[in-house]
Chains A and B, each alone.
Chain A
Amino acid sequence: AQTVTQSQPEMSVQEAETVTLSCTYDTSENNYYLFWYKQPPSRQMILVIRQEAYKQQNATENRFSVNFQKAAKSFSLKISDSQLGDTAMYFCAFAGAGSYQLTFGKGTKLSVIP
């Protein structure tokens, strides 16, 4: 069974600064997908970014980028130029290539301070 670990329950960052959220995972699979989801106070789960394990290039979406280290089984999220609207819970999630199930970490609560 896969496990996903987010070791930072809470973090804070000053507006306009950069913050990195950590995620590690454990799997015996070689092909899989990794995701970061954002959950603002509205409760809606919003996909931030995805990474396919077979791609060596790190995914980027505007101010959001990942550092994917397959050998180390690490998948961190970097948020640049933090904005007040980035305040939310962030969940790291894993899906095996042949699996329908998303396995989530316990989340990191990020607060952006004005």
Chain B
Amino acid sequence: NAGVTQTPKFQVLKTGQSMTLQCAQDMNHEYMSWYRQDPGMGLRLIHYSVGAGITDQGEVPNGYNVSRSTTEDFPLRLLSAAPSQTSVYFCATKIGTGAGEQYFGPGTRLTVT
């Protein structure tokens, strides 16, 4: 049982490049989400999904796309990276719907130059 996995752990992009951050879970959790963490800030919600085929925006969605074709995977796409997207990205999952504690992946550190 690997829990929540994220790849890659580190990534450097040039401005304008695109990439996909991968998130996978083996706990059969319905809810998955993406957060970003910037220095001196707590985590902020980017996008979330309550099940396969269902996604919605969080607090800071601009510049990011998501899709959820399976329960296990929830990739985050940066279509045209900008320096403002330099951050640490966390994927999280939760059992069921509604509030409750979330289980976080190990994070991806992304640098956009």
Query: Which A positions have Cβ atoms within 8 angstroms of B?
Result: 4, 32-33, 35, 42-45, 47, 50, 91, 93, 95-107
Range of interface residues on B (Cβ < 8 Å): 20 to 34
> Which of chain B's residues have a CB closer than 8 A to the CB of A99?
98-99
Q: B100 contacts A95, CB within 8 Å?
A: yes
> Which of chain B's residues have a CB closer than 8 A to the CB of A33?
99-101
CB < 8 Å: which of A43, A91, A95 contacts B106? Answer: A43
Within the complex, the shortest CB–CB distance from A4 to chain B, in Å, comes to 7
A97 to B96, CA, bound (A): 13
> Which of chain B's residues have a CB closer than 8 A to the CB of A32?
99
Within the complex, the shortest CB–CB distance from A95 to chain B, in Å, comes to 4
CB < 8 Å: which of A42, A96, A98, A102 contacts B43? Answer: A102
3 smallest CB-CB distances across A and B, nearest first, come from A104-B42, A45-B104, A95-B99
Can you list 13 A-B contacts (CB < 8 A)? A43-B88, A43-B107, A44-B104, A45-B92, A45-B107, A93-B42, A98-B98, A100-B33, A101-B48, A101-B58, A102-B92, A106-B40, A107-B42
